[in-house]
Amino acid sequence: MLLSFALWIQATDFFTYLRGSGYVYPCILSMHMVTLAVFGGMILMTDLRMLGWAMRSRPVADVVDQLRVTKRWGLVLMVTLGALLAGCKAEEYYYNIFFRLKLILLALIIVHWLVFRRAVYARAAEMDRAGQVPGNAKLAAALSLLLWAGVACMGRGIGYVDPPFGIHAQLWPF
């Protein structure tokens, strides 16, 4: 069922155009990497602040609360661009082991968000008042660092797997 969805979506006019568009596809990929650098970097810095490794002269709440909206819009942009890229090669990506691992890590990030958002991320101001970051917050930060670094590395891995033989649509170099 997933495979037939992948075949359908990559055959739509929109994705057929994107796939054959020459410079447009690498520009979308570049924008995806720019959002990774800008907003991924902000995620890393938030985690590093919680671990007490960076920006220690700023309260935890200042970093966690004030970057939240920015990161959320960044994530929307990053996921949108990523979906455009995936739609172009949906069939090939369906078979790609790194794409599958990337989706699993992204699913784990949603689980991470559900588990820690109230217990940790909503309580940054309390941590500042108490003068220390509790163990579960440090665990959340460390897991977040690992998960996001993993997503970035799996994303890079996608490009290393050759498409399987007999695939219906491929990206042509310009």
**Interface with other proteins by CB under 8 A: which residues?**
26-27, 29-30, 33-34, 36-45, 48, 54-55, 57-58, 62-63, 66-67, 69-70, 149, 152-153, 156-157, 159-160, 173-174
Q: How far is the CB of 53 from other proteins (least distance, A)?
A: 9
Q: How far is the CB of 2 from other proteins (least distance, A)?
A: 27
Considering beta carbons, is residue 39 or 93 the nearer one to other proteins? 39
Among 115, 119, 149, 151, which Cα is nearest to 44's?
A: 149
Considering beta carbons, is residue 120 or 151 the nearer one to other proteins? 151
**DSSP character string of 103-165:** HHHHHHHHHHHHHHTTTTGGGHHHHHHHTS--HHHHHHHHHHHHHHHHHHHHHHHHTTSPPPT
Considering beta carbons, is residue 1 or 69 the nearer one to other proteins? 69
Q: How far is the CB of 135 from other proteins (least distance, A)?
A: 24
Q: How far is the CB of 23 from other proteins (least distance, A)?
A: 9
Considering beta carbons, is residue 36 or 120 the nearer one to other proteins? 36
d(CA 14, CA 11): 8
Considering beta carbons, is residue 6 or 124 the nearer one to other proteins? 124
Residues in Cβ contact with 122 at an 8 Å cutoff, skipping those fewer than 6 apart: none
Q: How far is the CB of 167 from other proteins (least distance, A)?
A: 17
CA distances from 159 to 74, 128, 146, 152 (A): 23, 43, 21, 12
